[in-house]
Amino acid sequence: MLNNAMLPKPAFIDPQLELFLQIGSGIFWTITYLFIIRRSYLDKSYGMPLAALCANVSWEFIFSFVFPHPQPQLYIDYCWLLFDMVILVQYLLYGKKDFPKNLSPRLFYPSFFITLVLAGLIILLMSYEFKEFIGIYAAFGQNLLMSVLFISMFLKRDHVRGQSIYIAILKTIGTILPSYLFFTYYPNSYLLILLYLAVLFYDLVYAILLYTKLRAQNINPWRRL
């Protein structure tokens, strides 16, 4: 059972259901990362927006080594961090193609470094400021950021490189499971409820936009792995 200084004591949940939701989230997000890595490699285009990637890497590092999560979440964090580092390398390899044309290419690496440092500091100081060392608010806040940025990335590029309908579906399921878990823990946290619903809404919008685009380009969405 999680303990948290900012939120009230979590409600009791059946240990088997708790484990199922934790492991399920870990599995679905890990598969999502694998699909992103595969699609990025095939398309030679990064598959996760920069700010979302930096927030993910920072959160996983902080709650692996600075404020380690209890098991089994700690091992899930290790796994996520490993795969996100691969996605990070892919961003550095392929991201220049989508870097704003009105900016000097020399700013590509500094902009990445600054974004990564700021993301890490924000998550770290948020934990200290609110005495919230599990990373719940940071996790769902950056999940909302990621959902919005996936849509922004899609609309900005106006192509489907680095993306697939499986990524959209898997990341949606990977978020629904912990949303249900933390709703069970904290059913009266209206801010968290809003975050759960907002993430789900934008994930569904992204999936619909991507599916429509694939069909418009005569690409079978279910055969694009």
In Å, how far are 13, 98, 176 from 170, measured between CA atoms?
25, 25, 10
pLDDT at 70: 93
Q: Is residue 224 part of a domain?
A: no
Total of domains in the chain: 1
Q: Three-class SS string for 196-214? A: HHHHHHHHHHHHHHHHHHH
Decide if 2 is inside a domain.
no
Task: Report if residue 5 sits inside a domain.
Answer: no
In a domain, 61, yes or no: yes
Residue 221 lies in a domain: no
The pLDDT of residue 175: 97
The answer to whether residue 32 sits within a structural domain is yes
C-beta of residue 134 within 8 angstroms of C-beta of residue 4: yes
- Which amino acid is present at 25? S
Give dist(CA 17, CA 174) in Å, integer: 15
3-state secondary structure 117-179: HHHHHHHHHHHHHHCCCCCHHHHHHHHHHHHHHHHHHHHHHCCCCCCCHHHHHHHHHHHHHHH
Task: For the chain, 225 residues long, give each residue's pLDDT as a single digit of tens.
Answer: 444 556 777 888 899 999 999 999 999 999 999 999 999 999 999 999 999 999 999 999 999 999 999 999 999 999 999 999 999 999 999 999 889 889 899 999 999 999 999 999 999 999 999 889 999 999 999 999 999 999 999 999 888 999 999 999 999 999 999 999 999 999 999 999 999 999 999 999 999 999 999 999 999 999 998
In this predicted structure, what is the pLDDT of residue 144? 97
Whole-number pLDDT of residue 1:
44
Distance CA 48, CA 84 (A): 10
Domain enclosing residue 92, as ranges: 15-97+104-216
- Dist CA 64 CA 151 (whole Å): 29
Please state whether the predicted TM-score (pTM) of the whole model is above 0.85.
yes
Tell whether 158 is covered by a domain. Answer: yes
Whether 137 maps to a domain, the answer reads yes
Report d(CA 96, CA 105) in Å as an integer.
7
Token digits of residue 221: 């969405």
